[in-house]
Amino acid sequence: MKLRKNFLIILILSLCLLLSAGTALAKPVTITFWHAMSGSRLGVVESIIESFNATHPDFEVKPLFTGSYAETLTKYVAAYPTKTGPNMVQVYEVGTQTMIDSDAITPVYQIPGMLGETWDWAQYVIPITHYYSVDGNLWSMPFNSSTAMLYYNKDLFKAAGLDPDKPPTTWKEMEEYGEKILASGVVDHVYSTGWPSWIFEQTMAYHNHLYADNDNGRAGLATEVVFNDEFGHKVFETWIRLHDKGIYIYGGAEYSANSAFKAGQIAMLIQSTSSLAGILKASEFKVGTSFLPRFEGYPVGNSIIGGGSLWVTKGQSEEELRGVWEFLKYIGQKDIAIQWHKGTGYFPVSGAALKALLDEGWFSADQAFLTAFLQILAGRRDTAAATGVRLGPFVAMREHFRAALEKSIGGELSPKDALNEAAEKMNALLKDYLELYGK
């Protein structure tokens, strides 16, 4: 552990050196940007930054890949006391409350005013900005936004004697289809999911059901979780039942389940929309996409926004802030937002980009890219339950959920006990958070 700490210190020191060398030599104002985009996304980020630097000679954005989301946040936290952090940092959606409470950032909505500008925030896709807003004001700039949807393998549906244009719409149908597909013998297991804790949060929001009190932590800090009621237990028990029938196969915490879907070993996948480009590219079968399945007879909510957003460090010079602001405006521009969407599958963040994509026929060429949009636009967004959860110790809380799911799938605990245990542990975390941040 010490080694790691030392490494961090060395990393930060060398970064300081780099930064000071950079500012001494170059004329344009340097804007540092820490992000967590790896793989094919990295290339897209870099090309957007290159074009920004080329078109804005007064500024130079310097991106630095700082590891996973969690590592990026850790480094940002470690750099904060020594003021060696970046001007901008990408933080995942679960870190939102931590950032709001951090006292280390300037909320994005205040920046135009500080620079003597006005800005129309309504040009962005509302359900996306909604997630990152406090009392209607945007705190961080949405960057890579996604939601969850259902992917299915049309060829396997056909092979199992199902209509490939009729994906399941309810969990009851998930079970019926699952049994049929299993009986046909085309696959050993029918579906899997990525990000199980997030999919559970999605399911709550999708049925307009609160996850935590104080309006999902949006009206004030949450004091306890409320998902462990009749509905929550029903969702959880359904998952476990489908697992016990062999329909659902547990697929790990993040993207491990994708490989089974791409290889045609499962017929359906519930996963982030950001996997779409990768799945389309790697799959040798017809990929269908549809809305998340519902539980019949429960209220309609909305699927929620996940991914990451950009936060602006407090206490920058006006020049730096202007550079940051130019960059934030730039990534929301029509062409850039389109480039980002096509390159990664993340939502284009502005309404204008959406229209341009529609006009050029992007969505009719492959309507799979439209599914996620229709899903978030079809749902409601006037309730906190449908907007999504905001919790301080969210990262740790999600792990308790994942542990509960793994324990009941493994038969270590009954679904009911496992979910209650997770809720209890989460409440203890919320209590600690309140102790630190409560008035």
Partner 1 sequence: MHEDRFPGHKFLPYILIAPSIAVIFIFLIGPFGQSIYESFFVSTPFGTRTIYVGLRNYIRLFSSPDYLNSVVATFKFAAFVIIIGLSISLAIAQLLNQKIRGVGFYQVALIWTYAISPTIAGVIWASMFAPATGLIPYIVSKLSGGYTMNWMTNGQLALFIVAAAATWKMLGYNIIFFLAGLQNVPDEFLEAAQIDGASPWKAFWRITFPMLSPTTSFLLFVNMLYAFFQVFGLIDIMTRGGPGNATELLVYKLYRDGFIHLNTGFASAQSFIIFFVISVVAIIQLRIVTRKAIYFR
Three-state DSSP at 90 gives strand
Tokens of 270: 């519930």
Nearest-approach distance from CB 1 to partner 1, in angstroms? 6
Beta strands in 331-433 (DSSP E): none
- Tell me how far apart the alpha carbons of residues 165 and 118 are, in angstroms, rounded to a whole number: 47
Nearest-approach distance from CB 427 to partner 1, in angstroms? 15
* CB nearer partner 1, residue 168 or residue 251: 251
Nearest-approach distance from CB 266 to partner 1, in angstroms? 7
Residues paired with residue 268 on neighbouring β-strands, in sequence order? 152, 191
Size of the site for partner 1 (CB under 8 A): 49
Nearest-approach distance from CB 207 to partner 1, in angstroms? 26
- Does 283 participate in binding partner 1 (rule CB under 8 A)? no
Please give the backbone phi and psi of residue 170, each rounded to the nearest 5 degrees, phi first: -125, 165
Kindly identify the residues of this chain, within the stretch 254-273, that bind partner 1 according to CB under 8 A.
Answer: 256-257, 259-260, 263, 265-266
Beta carbons of 82 and 12 less than 8 angstroms apart: yes
- Does 173 participate in binding partner 1 (rule CB under 8 A)? no
Nearest-approach distance from CB 418 to partner 1, in angstroms? 9
* CB nearer partner 1, residue 183 or residue 377: 183
With contacts defined by CB under 8 A, name the span among 1-9, 43-51, 172-180, 297-305 that binds partner 1. 1-9
Nearest-approach distance from CB 434 to partner 1, in angstroms? 12
Tokens of 43: 């290339």
What's 317-383 look like in SS3? CHHHHHHHHHHHHHHHCHHHHHHHHHHHCCCCCEHHHHHHHHHCCHHHHCCHHHHHHHHHHHCCCCC
- Return the residue of 121, 396, 427, 434 that touches partner 1, per CB under 8 A: 396
- Return the residue of 19, 62, 80, 255 that touches partner 1, per CB under 8 A: 80
- Does 410 participate in binding partner 1 (rule CB under 8 A)? yes
- Tell me how far apart the alpha carbons of residues 203 and 338 are, in angstroms, rounded to a whole number: 29
Tokens of 198: 């997030």
Kindly identify the residues of this chain, within the stretch 125-144, that bind partner 1 according to CB under 8 A.
Answer: none
Q: Which of 334, 308, 338, 312 is nearest to 112 (CA)?
A: 312
Residues contacting 260, CB < 8 A, separation 6+: 189, 192, 249, 251, 266, 269
By the criterion CB under 8 A, which residues form the site for partner 1?
Answer: 1-2, 4-6, 9, 70-71, 73-74, 77, 80-81, 98, 101-104, 188-189, 192, 246, 249-253, 256-257, 259-260, 263, 265-266, 393, 395-396, 399, 402-403, 406-407, 409-410, 412, 432, 435-437
